[in-house]
Chains A and B, each alone.
Chain A
Amino acid sequence: MVCQFHYRAILLLAIFAVFGCASKEESASTGERRPETPDASAGSATGDELAQLLDVNDSGKATSQKTSLRFKDVAASSNVSFHRFSDAVHDRYFLPEVMGGGVAWFDYDHDGQLDLYATNGISLWDPVPGKVNPLNQLFRNRGRGQFATVTVPSRSGDSYFGQGCTVGDFNADGFPDLYVTNYGRNTLFVSNGDGTFTDGTDASGLGDPSWGTSAVWFDANSDGLLDLYVANYLNLTRETHEICTYGGVRGYCGPGRWDGVADLLCLNQGDGDFKITAACDAQDAALAKGLAVVVCDFNADAQPDVYVANDMVPNVLLTRTAEAASDAEPLFRNVAEHAGCAVSSDGRNEASMGVACSDFDNDGKVDIFLTHYFQHKNTLYRNLDSLLFEDNSRRSRTAATSFDTLGFGTVAADFDHDGDDDLFIANGHVLGPQHSPNAMNPQLLENDGRGVFDDASFQIGGYFVQPCVGRGAAKGDFDNDGRIDIVVSHVDRPMAIVRNETQVSNHFIGLQLLPIDRVYPVGGQVTVMAGGQRHIIPIIGGGSYLSSSDPRIVVGLGEYEGPVDVSVVWPGRDTETLHNMSSGRYWQIRERKTEQPALVLPVRDGSEN
């Protein structure tokens, strides 16, 4: 087996090298002998002990620890049947086909139950005459775990190639509006308050034709109005389309083939119109290739900061500029490089797809988790304070649990109410089905409370052991049982509603924040004091990939079941504290109504659903 190649040919080639220089050799000297190999100085471990060093099978899996987490895909039994149309034409490999779509949990009809929105694709190049393009879908939660499609009556379908969706009450009328990013013109659906929507794109000026991906509503300039940040991806058109070959097999090209497109910051003018500006003045940020965006306060200044996950170019962390008083000045500056969260600690650009923020290590500061490409680590940037992050992927084991996957949508939530946020990750490759691996198992990483994760996926339910090509993911307690569920959009199969069926012995408190100006307080913070334990929960906008999660906050209290105190930092305003709130239920917290917090949505027994 040693020499399966053409031995003689190599021999002939080698002959010239072997003896060609022999005559040049000089006589041997009799210098002192050098040691043959470096000596070991500390080699005291035995062979067996050394062998154990290498015995690291299935690293990252929670082999020694049983988890109580249980999940089940209930989409079919909930009457949700949605298989996103990707328009994947044989051998075309047009990148938008494989990027998947987003999902959103939001209560569009104000009935106290989370409804579900999912973006859809259309025929990208050559529409078939007479064939009606698919629409984005809105599913109304009818209660008891049942949904009904209301796309047409609600007029929330869209005639573009849908990518992401984000929810926010931009006109402060009390009803959530919906912004849909497309490969093509983006669309603003304005809620009419009666369960229907009006296309407000033209009136708002938000119909950017670039390839929009993720977007998020937040008050960027502290004027009491919801603004919009839109991440744009690539300048890819039919004319610039290319097909790549990997190992002789055709597939989708990566982002390096095309230029990026600048993200947009759309400032709400208060009259239904938006002023579109560049997000910041950094040239590199303007050429970013954004796929995901999250907004929260990373430096405890009660101002929202923006983190954009870019694909193979440095990520962006935007903080408010102090001098942004005039219109001419950019509102934000990019500090990612200085903060240490632009590239990995190896100095490499990473292919960031999805993002989730939380205080994973319970140190009171918001950390950043990013999903990345196959055989690249997912990255967890630990917040060290003062806008300084460190790449903590190795210690947190988010690296160890991610080398075999390609992650997209991701959400952080305390799925078992043990007081720390776990991570869900939707995985799936992008090269196409001809390449292996294509479908991948989704993952649930269980936090040990110190920001160190174990992959619990293989023991928590069938959905997690079925390889699929996952993309958008959003969290939300659609059955109001206090346990956070997940919805996941796939490329290769119907959307999954992954219900959390964990038999939780821990306790929780749920909070719905109702600011006085109806501007969701992104950048604020909630602190829950529970029996001497302090839980700090950042109020976050956006996150995941192309998706929008339930804005309610669920705080796991562990075994503590007594009354809790809740403090809310309303960004740019006061901090309010509510005392002696009982756990095990959702509360509505209305700003400046601290005397009478309204109890809503009593917890249901999950078995009812």
Chain B
Amino acid sequence: MTDHGAQSTQNAAVESTPSENSTPSFLSRRRTFFLVICVLAVGWSGYSYWSIESGLKRGQQAAAKGHWSRARNHLSRYLQWHPDDSAAHLLTAEALVRDNTRSGQDSVNQAIEHLMQIKEDSPLAATARLQQARLSLLILQRPAAAERLLREALDLNPDSLDANILMWKLMDVTGRHIVSRQYFWRAYEVSPASGRPPLLRDWFLAEFFPETANTSFHNATGARAVGELPASISLLVRLRESEPEAHFVHAALAAYYLERGQPKSSLELLKESPDLTKAMKDPFFVSVLLESLVDLGENEKATICFEQFPEPHSDYLYWRSKAMFHHYVTEDATAAVHAYEEALTKWPAKFDWGLMTKLSESLRKVGRSDDAESVQERVKQLTTRILTEEKTSQLRDKLRGLNDPAVAGELCDIYTEFGLMKEANAWGDHQQKLLTSSSTFLPSSTSAK
């Protein structure tokens, strides 16, 4: 091809010799050539402009067809000229993650870089932070980063259903079910009506079957039961390795061992938290540390620890910790009773029969025997009638389907017995809807007969 081309050029030069005398023709040719070049240049520029400007659209079209590599190419060019386009960054991030031809770690890191380009004043900023959080948690397994990003996402859009759900789940899988309730309720409130029953079911499972409540999450992150360690703890171990600075993961693991009678192991795990000053600003961390010290009879250290308890001094964790501190360290039964009673006004103390038993002991100590009996009776009621393995397991089985008004009614009843009226009312609403919808069909079915 090259030789032929060279030859034809030479021929053209030879043929042009006789016509050198006809200047107008020559000029006309040059003009034409120039014009062609100009047209081509303009065309090319136009094409380039069109290509760049339509890159986002074409990227979206390619993405819609699942051509992620092509979409990424379109978007890449587009972003060279539009580096601040949030939508392009968002779609590029998605293309990077979904493109099977690329290696995982690089893709995720690049995706996060794109998401980070979306500034807070962008309408897509909340979505970007949410997606960053998802990548951080599910892929990079960096829960502290994910939590920070989710907080940013919720600052930007407190009504984000997905951000609230993910925050709830993040709290749950990192051992902090105790502080997850507000996110569940926000998610419930902003959820469309059809999405609410599954949320209620998930919440019930999280409350009563913590080991298996997040199975899909464990599957997504590849966490498996190892020996006697359940998947939930395997996940925590992995999260700790991925992000050692996430102090609440150390605390969650410590709480697991504390619960199993290993306060020394608990302390060892807490000790591995690299930034203790920061960790001590987290009530969850401090409460686990305090309980470990109390269990070990380290009363002086427990006193110092309790003095560091971070604000707000108003939630369940604080009052529970304060109650245990007075119960076991200062042995001030009156103060312990007050703190236990305050704790009992907070969720989830309504069914924390361990806390109630402690309260009962302190009540007896201050001479309120009748109140102690009444609390003990409540404990017995909870442990033998409401919270029995048989009953909760039956409910779990029944909850496979959510369209049985009787089951919804049963859940309504059980939450009513706990005194958790918000949950009770939610299940009651669901039951009412089911009954209404079934009665809607009743006339037609009746007439059919």
Contact = CB atoms under 8 A, between A and B. Distances in A.
Nearest to B290: A53
A559 B158 CA distance: 71
Contact of A347 (B260, B328, B357): B357
Contacts of B67: none
Interface in B213-271: 219-222, 227-228, 238, 241-242, 260-264, 267, 270-271
A77 B141 CA distance: 62
A400 to B, nearest CB: 4
Interface in B287-329: 289, 293-299, 301, 304-305, 307-313, 327-329
A41 B313 contact: yes
Nearest to A2: B242
A390 B222 contact: no
A158 to B, nearest CB: 37
B337 interface: no
B58 interface: no
A18 B138 contact: yes
B154 interface: yes
A592 interface: no
A14 B283 contact: no
B361 A9 contact: no
A348 B379 CA distance: 11
B151 interface: yes
Contact of B296 (A5, A60, A376): A60
A42 B307 contact: yes
Contacts of A6: 222
Contacts of A246: 228
B276 A50 contact: yes
Given A25-B127, A39-B310, A395-B297, A338 B105 contact: no
A346 B327 CA distance: 12
Contact of A15 (B98, B242, B331, B376): B98
B276 A10 contact: no
Nearest to B90: A22
Of listed B97, B139, B238, residue having the most chain A CB within 10 A: B139
Given A5-B222, A19-B94, A26 B157 contact: yes
A60 B122 contact: no
B295 A19 contact: no
B415 to A, nearest CB: 21
> Which interface class (under 10, 10 to 19, 20 to 34, 35 or more) fits A?
35 or more
B134 A17 contact: yes
A45 B123 contact: no
Contacts of A40: 280-281, 308, 310-311
B261 A36 contact: no
B308 A50 contact: yes
A2 B141 contact: yes
Interface stretch (B70-78, B159-167, B196-204, B390-398): B159-167
A130 interface: no
Nearest to A402: B261
B364 interface: yes
A65 to B, nearest CB: 15
B281 A56 contact: no
Interface in A4-36: 5-11, 13-15, 17-19, 21-22, 24-34, 36
Given A14-B139, A42-B308, A3 B228 contact: no
A446 to B, nearest CB: 14
B62 interface: no
B338 interface: no
Interface in A352-404: 374-377, 384, 388, 390-391, 394-397, 399-400, 403-404
B291 to A, nearest CB: 10
Contact of B328 (A11, A34, A42, A395): A395
Contact of B281 (A1, A27, A39): A39
Given A38-B282, A49-B304, A346-B354, A394 B294 contact: yes
Given A37-B281, A343-B357, A21 B162 contact: yes
Contacts of B134: 14, 17-18
Of listed B154, B283, B328, residue having the most chain A CB within 10 A: B328
B60 to A, nearest CB: 12
B354 to A, nearest CB: 4
Given A11-B104, A41-B311, A391 B361 contact: yes
A384 B333 CA distance: 12
Contact of B262 (A348, A375, A388): A375
B310 A340 contact: no
Nearest to A16: B220
A28 B126 contact: yes
Interface of chain A: mostly helix, strand, loop or mixed:
loop
Nearest to B154: A34
Interface in B113-153: 120, 122-127, 130-131, 134-135, 138-141, 148, 151
A452 interface: yes
Contact of B356 (A42, A347, A377, A397): A347
A564 B360 CA distance: 42
B66 to A, nearest CB: 12
Interface residues of B, number: 91
Contacts of B310: 38-43
B157 A47 contact: no
Contact of B295 (A22, A247, A399): A399
Of listed B122, B227, B271, B296, residue having the most chain A CB within 10 A: B296
A8 B242 CA distance: 17
Contact of A25 (B126, B140, B298, B328): B126
Interface string A400-437: 10011000000000000000000000000000000000
Interface string A60-74: 100000000000000
Contact of B220 (A17, A49, A52, A56): A17
B373 interface: yes
Nearest to A9: B222
Interface string B368-408: 00000100100100010000000000000000000000000
A311 B219 CA distance: 38
Contact of B130 (A9, A25, A340): A25
A301 interface: no
A14 B220 contact: yes
B184 to A, nearest CB: 17
A56 B267 contact: yes
B131 A22 contact: yes
Contact of B280 (A5, A50, A337, A391): A50
Nearest to A374: B261
B123 A27 contact: yes
Interface string B64-98: 00000000000000000000000000100010011
Contact of B297 (A42, A384, A400): A400
B358 A403 contact: no
A374 B262 CA distance: 10
B263 A400 contact: yes
B425 to A, nearest CB: 26
Contact of B126 (A29, A247, A338): A29
A247 B304 contact: no
Given A39-B281, A395-B328, A397-B297, A28 B308 contact: no
A391 B361 CA distance: 8
A340 B360 contact: yes
A43 B131 contact: no
B156 interface: yes
A51 interface: yes
Nearest to A49: B304
B353 interface: yes
B192 to A, nearest CB: 10
A530 B157 CA distance: 76
B155 interface: yes
Contacts of A343: 357
B277 interface: yes
12 contacts: A9-B222, A10-B222, A11-B104, A11-B108, A13-B220, A24-B161, A34-B151, A40-B310, A41-B313, A346-B354, A375-B261, A395-B299
The 10 closest A-B pairs by CB, nearest first: A347-B357, A397-B297, A375-B261, A41-B311, A25-B127, A40-B281, A28-B126, A27-B123, A14-B138, A400-B296
